[in-house]
Amino acid sequence: MTEPNISVTEDELHAFVDNELPPERRGDVEAWLAAHPDDAERVQSWRAMAEALHARYDAVADEPVPKRLEIERLVQQPRKWMYGAIAATLVAFIAGGGTGWLAHGVAASPSAFQSFTVDALEAHRLYVVEVRHPVEVPGSERAHLQAWLTKRCGWVVFAPELDATGLKLVGGRLLPGPTGPASFLMYESASGERFTIYTAKADAETTQMRYAKQDSDGALFWADRGVAYVVSGSSDRERLTQVARMVYDQNEKIGG
């Protein structure tokens, strides 16, 4: 039996999970899944996660937004496919605030938290495995790296000193971000553990860190003075928080 001559996109797989796929494409996607067991397994896990999200959070979807979260209110544009998208990419919640408001993010268009964190984790996973070319500008050229990224990005890009956490600057690179250019800095410990700092312009403002986890990688997001920050690295939340807090504190000093 020959493989079906079709090309199925990630968006179509999500639409298939959420029963929003055009009828004329459903047969093609089913044939694709029959020939690609890895994709079939992913689809099954997304569907299970979506069902779990519905079961757990539908009851609170209409609750008023708590006062402490007013700053993060999202424009309500219900899209059922977001259940599948979040299940496929992030298991996320507000750091220190529990999981009760995940449903409000699910019911809205993708938030800044989701957009920036997905992009940052993708960049992190892409470059931390590189041995010869993990960065464009090496950490030995810190001053040049900061000046170059600042000029290209349009805000002060600062490479914090993370020696107290056992991390040395590997270097950085310029990336496309969800709102324009993004800066990307990489740090490494003596044991080879790597962390990255991703920054891009953001309209949202929240200095409360929000945590996300994707497979074995974790990330902490916040946005301050028009810039979003995502520190990615170990899924050990205590270790990740230690690094992110130091990044936050040093950026506050230069921004204050």
Q: What is the pLDDT of residues 72-95, one digit of tens each?
A: 333 334 444 444 444 444 444 434
Report the run of H or E that residue 255 belongs to, with start and end.
Answer: helix 237-255
Beta bridge mates, 189: none
The rounded distance, in Å, linking the Cα atoms of 183 and 149 is 6
User: Among residues 208, 247, 240, 165, which one has the least CA distance to residue 66?
Assistant: 208
Domain ranges in the chain are 10-106, 112-255
* pLDDT for position 209: 85
Q: Which CATH number is associated with domain 112-255? A: 3.30.200.100
Report the run of H or E that residue 12 belongs to, with start and end.
Answer: helix 10-17
Output 18 or 100, whichever has higher pLDDT.
18
**pTM of the complete model beyond 0.85:** no
164 in helix, strand or coil? helix
What is the per-residue pLDDT across 21-68, written as a single tens digit (0 to 9) for each?
Answer: 888 888 888 998 898 888 888 787 667 666 655 554 455 444 554 444
CB 202 within 8 Å of CB 230: no
Instruction: State how far Cα 54 lies from the chain centre.
Output: 22
